[in-house]
Structure 1
Amino acid sequence: MASTEVERHTGVDVEDVPSAEWGWSKENPRLQQIGGVFAGLFLLLMTHGNHQGHVEDYFLIVGAFLLFGYVARSWYLHRNKDTR
């Protein structure tokens, strides 16, 4: 009689990547989000400096807010990923 169990495929073959058994071969969106927040805060901290013009500040602020927007979008898309 045939088995009724479904074999799950994670996309990573354990023979090719031995660390896949521990889950190390997948991307970690939570770690990427934390890194994005720290990078955005670092960009905002770089606005405090000894430069005369403020053109650099505008680029740093826009870059930080684009990064925060990407992190917010990533958080919104991944917040219920486990339940879908």
Structure 2
Amino acid sequence: MSDATGRGQGHQTSARVIEQSTREEGIVRAGETPITHERPEDWGWHGEAGKTGRIAGYVMIFFLLTLLVGNHEGRVEDLYILGAVLTIAVSLIWDSRRRKNAWRAR
């Protein structure tokens, strides 16, 4: 950890090191207040991948299904591939139903 002598600050006298209980120590400029909490929305993250994520899900289903075709003799790996395909498909169906009924009251 830094100390108050200026180590890590480039010996700037206008900045100060503060200890934060829920975060790492920080350097605060003179006249500024430390940030107590940053919401993900402030950085542009709203919790959904959107249309790109849904398209990526369909592409992954296609690529996983192409793995079923090949010269392998064992069929155990096919069960894992089909399980992954089923999981992705169920999540895509759930997402489409959720978006379709989002305006309705529960």
- TM bucket normalised to smaller: 0.5 to 0.7
- 2:64 equivalent among 35, 39, 43: 43
What fraction of aligned residue pairs are identical, expressed as a percent? 25
Question: 5 Å matches for 1:16-35?
Answer: 17=43, 20=44, 25-26=45-46, 27-35=48-56
Q: Name which one, 1 or 2, has greater alpha-carbon Rg.
A: 2
Q: CA deviation at 1:41?
A: 1.4
Query: Which of the pair is proportionally richer in helix?
Result: 1
Q: CA deviation at 1:61?
A: 1.3
Q: Which has the higher contact order (CA 8 A, sep 6+)?
A: 1
Alignment RMSD: 2.0
Q: Does 1:77 align with 2:98?
A: yes
Q: TM-score w.r.t. structure 2 length?
A: 0.50
**Number of equivalent positions:** 64
Distance 2:82 2:41 in 1: 39
Structure 1: gaps spanning 5 or more residues? 1-10
Q: CA deviation at 1:70?
A: 0.8
Query: Which of the pair is proportionally richer in strand?
Result: 2
The structure 1 segments of at least 4 consecutive aligned residues displaced by more than 4 Å after TM superposition are none
Q: Does 1:57 align with 2:86?
A: no
Structure 2: gaps spanning 5 or more residues? 1-39
Q: TM-score w.r.t. structure 1 length?
A: 0.61
Distance 1:45 1:12 in 2: 38
